[in-house]
Amino acid sequence: MLCPVEINAGQVSFHLENLQGQIPFREFIDFQIQTPLERLLCLPKHRNPNHSLDDLLRLQKVHQAIKVLPIDGTEAENMAARYWLAALFLLYFRLYQLDRADSLCRKAWAHLLKLRCTSLLTLYTMSKKGSAEANSLREKDILEQLPVALREWRTFCQEPQNHFLFCAEYELGSPEEEIWRIIHGEEGTGRKPHAFFLQTCQGREVLRRRFISEWFLNDRYAWFSACRLCCHYWRPGPKLGIIVLSLFLPVLAFLPQIRAFFSLAGYFQTLQLCLFGFAAIAVVIAYGSESFMDLLVPRLWAGVAVGYVPVLLTQEIWKTVPRLSGGFTVSCIVVSLTLSCLYLRWEIGNRMRQTPNLTLGVPLRRASVLLMIGVIAALVIGLAILDGVGESLIEVHFSGDSISHTLLSQEYSVQGLRSKIYLKMLLIFAAIALLLGVILQIFWHEKPVTASV
């Protein structure tokens, strides 16, 4: 069967019923021509490729034909030819509605989107290196084409209704694997992201907002993957760690003097001081970095804070805590954390249910990571509340109840920075607030727990 396109004798030839003719090769790959595709597509409007079985059979494999076309030129010219061929056939598909979900050419459409994006990203990287073979490529010309190519392939990968295509039958990896290939290239995820995502303002914005925030955190709940990308996004890299350590080391170095100055005693106050110091550093960094704010999962922190409201205002909970035995206390904490983890696992599994070949362990692992962040949030918020207004709330809720006062005085407690803190009360309150916060914020807002507030 005749190939739909071929390159020979310095020209590009098209062999379809509605796309025929030759274009000089140099003119075809020239990025400086403003509207090359409009000049190329002089197609008769009265014909329809759907009525030509030969055309449909050829177009189902057009992406494979483009990949193996022999091109007598430099690597940059090779990539440019593949980009323009993919772009041309994508426009052809759209013109004759061959990109529909029920189209026989759907597989070719997906591969053409991928080929157009990856070849253009490779061209951009080559133009940044300033190699001799890429002298004819201008970074500005490539950047004019890149946003559309990147957006369409990225959107195709991220839309759940397309996920059934990402399987071995269609020669595509999982959606997450294809997204990683957009960011890092076909070689894998061990390298840095493409130069476009790190060296241009537009690319950095796409990396942070479209990939880190909206995809890995919002859609996939992949906190560690988002964190790894953020390490590349923060260009100072090691400098950020040095800044954090330089802020925190003086606290550790002068901790005895600080404790003596504030008349603090005991290791618990030291732990509190360090914890609040970390929290203050995190807040300062978050104000200067939106990506760091996203990694903190602010919606989860806000949900836990809301979960503390009914706990702190319900008198029965306060009076019940001193009466609980040690075994029942442990059971209450374990049950609350288990229910929180199961709810997170259900939410993640529900949003990722259209992902092909998704193993049961993936939602559970990602739910466990979010649960650990939620536990930290619940303990930090609970520690601040009980240390700040704990004694005042005890006086309000236990007013006139001598039995509860007596039972509470027998509980294990430690002296905080301001008030006495009862550990049983802190742990139970934290577990209940986490469960309430996770459930309430999702029901109220109908958004994932990792979404930006």
pLDDT digits (tens, 9 = 90+) for 144-200: 888 889 999 999 998 888 888 888 888 888 888 889 989 888 765 557 888 888 888
Same domain, 314 and 425: yes
Same domain, 331 and 433: yes
Is 177 part of any domain?
Answer: yes
Is 286 part of any domain?
Answer: no
Same domain, 136 and 30: yes
Last residue of a domain, one of 217, 233, 249: 233
Q: Which of 183, 169, 13 is nearest to 81 (CA)?
A: 13
Same domain, 108 and 202: yes
Is 247 part of any domain?
Answer: no
- Specify whether the backbone of 126 is left (phi greater than 0), alpha (psi in -120 to 50) or beta: alpha
How confident is the model at residue 41, as a pLDDT? 55
How confident is the model at residue 130, as a pLDDT? 62
- Please tell me the distance from the alpha carbon of residue 265 to that of residue 273, in angstroms, as a whole number: 12
The parent domain of residue 144 ranges over 5-233
Is 144 part of any domain?
Answer: yes
How confident is the model at residue 264, as a pLDDT? 44
CA distances in angstroms from 130 to 76, 136, 138, 146, listed in the order given: 11, 10, 10, 18
Is 263 part of any domain?
Answer: no
Name the domain count of the chain: 2
What is the chain's Cα-based Rg?
30
Grouped pLDDT means (10 residues each) for the chain, 453 residues = 79 81 80 61 60 82 87 82 89 83 87 92 80 60 86 91 84 88 75 83 85 86 87 64 60 54 58 76 76 85 90 86 85 93 88 78 91 92 87 79 72 77 89 89 65 61
> Is the Cβ–Cβ distance between 289 and 234 less than 8 Å?
yes
Q: How many CB atoms lie within 10 A of CB 84?
A: 24
Same domain, 114 and 204: yes
Same domain, 156 and 16: yes
Same domain, 13 and 93: yes
Is 114 part of any domain?
Answer: yes
How confident is the model at residue 433, as a pLDDT? 93
pLDDT digits (tens, 9 = 90+) for 326-339: 888 899 999 999 99
Is 285 part of any domain?
Answer: no
What residue type is assigned to position 52 of the chain? S
Last residue of a domain, one of 210, 233, 256: 233
How confident is the model at residue 261, as a pLDDT? 47
Taking the C-alpha atoms of 152, 157, 161 and 166 in order, what is their torsion angle to the nearest 10 degrees? Answer: 130
Same domain, 110 and 205: yes
Same domain, 35 and 170: yes
Same domain, 318 and 188: no
- Packing angle of the helix pair 106-129, 139-158 (nearest 10 deg): 140
Last residue of a domain, one of 186, 212, 233: 233
pTM: 0.80
> Is the Cβ–Cβ distance between 340 and 371 less than 8 Å?
yes
> Is the Cβ–Cβ distance between 64 and 113 less than 8 Å?
no
